[in-house]
Amino acid sequence: MEINTEISPELMFTESSIGKQNRYIENGVKIFFLIMTCLMILPLLLIVGYLIYKAFPVLSFEFLFTNPKDNMRAGGVWAPFLGTIYLVVVSLMVAAPIGVFAAVYLNEYARENWFTRIVNLAVVNLAGVPSIVHALFGVGAFVLFAGLGESILAASLTLAIMTLPVIIASTKEALNAVPMSFREACWNLGATRWQTIRRIVLPNSISGILTGVILQVSRAAGETAPIMFTGAVFYKAIAEGNVFAYNITDQCMALSLHLYTISTQVPDVSDVIPYGTAIVLVGSVLFVNAAAICVRVYLRTRKKW
């Protein structure tokens, strides 16, 4: 008697109970991670939406390009807005080259020994130092010892020291992401180490380096303690609309300190003024971040790997 061992096509491709269970679990995990992602974005949307709602009556170009008036009870935020730009730009001009070049040395040139281990440990520890400690260091090192006085330069150097670990760490990660085979191919063709770094490694890691720069800008713009003792003042009158109203040896106003001042130290301030100042600060950071992200995406599209 013959036994029919053939399986019909319908039964052959029917999903088993274990397959269905795994599919349900996979879909559940995917939905869970999607919810966690939305919960991560939701606070930002709520904060920005609430600030816009509260600050909407005062949001205008006049508010942005007008100095504070009536003992900071009215007017706009031109002086602190311009001061924040000066602080961020000068600190970026100092921190970005030092951080990138230090990361290049640590990742491409330095050998694994006690010196590099100490340097890496110092970078990690520097990232964990509270901002108020950086402020005291800035007072001692730049204001007093270097003789810079309370100025934009002293405050910017303090911010640069504070943000160096972020740039160094992100740059090292970006350099490590470039395949070692790229370097070996260049060396086999007779290129020097510096030629390889300059022509191959840095161009292919620039998008990752921008990540550290974005974080540096965000942190430098929002810090209050490091600039409070080194270069920022409660009030300083400057010419409205003049982007060169400050000198790097002058003291300046800053949005973060100005927001703290009008929220806690100045009585009878209209409710919309602090919210408008907060929107300018957050909007400035988001604008810079968005611009840097666009550049980073463009550079990534040009990669050949």
Place of tokens 């720069």: 213
Cβ atoms 208, 171 nearer than 8 A: yes
Fold of 62-67+75-301: MetI-like fold (1.10.3720)
Q: How far apart are CA 18 and CA 208, in angstroms?
A: 42
Q: What is the pLDDT of residue 142?
A: 93
Q: Which residue has the tokens 């070996």?
A: 184
pLDDT for residue 7 is more than 90: no
d(CA 201, CA 187): 12
Instruction: Please write the tens of the pLDDT for every residue from 248-278.
Output: 999 999 999 999 999 888 888 888 999 999 9
What's residue 111's pLDDT?
Answer: 85
User: Would the pLDDT of 300 be above 90?
Assistant: no
Tokens of 29: 């995990």
d(CA 80, CA 84) in angstroms, rounded, equals 6
Q: Which residues are CB-contacts of 260 (< 8 A; sequence separation ≥ 6)?
A: 224
Check if the beta carbon of residue 147 is closer than 8 Å to that of residue 139. no
Query: pLDDT band at 2, cuts 50/70/90?
Result: low
pTM of the full structure: 0.85
Ranked by mean pLDDT, which of 92-106, 196-210, 284-298 comes out on top? 92-106
Q: Which tens digit of pLDDT belongs to each residue from 174-233?
A: 899 888 888 888 888 888 899 999 988 988 888 888 887 887 888 888 888 889 889 989
- 208 vs 281 pLDDT, higher one: 281
The confidence score (pLDDT) of residue 224 equals 87
Give the three-state DSSP class for 69: strand
Task: Report the C-alpha gap between 249 and 247 in whole angstroms.
Answer: 5
User: Token pair for residue 150?
Assistant: 């309370």
Residue with tokens 């606070």: 43
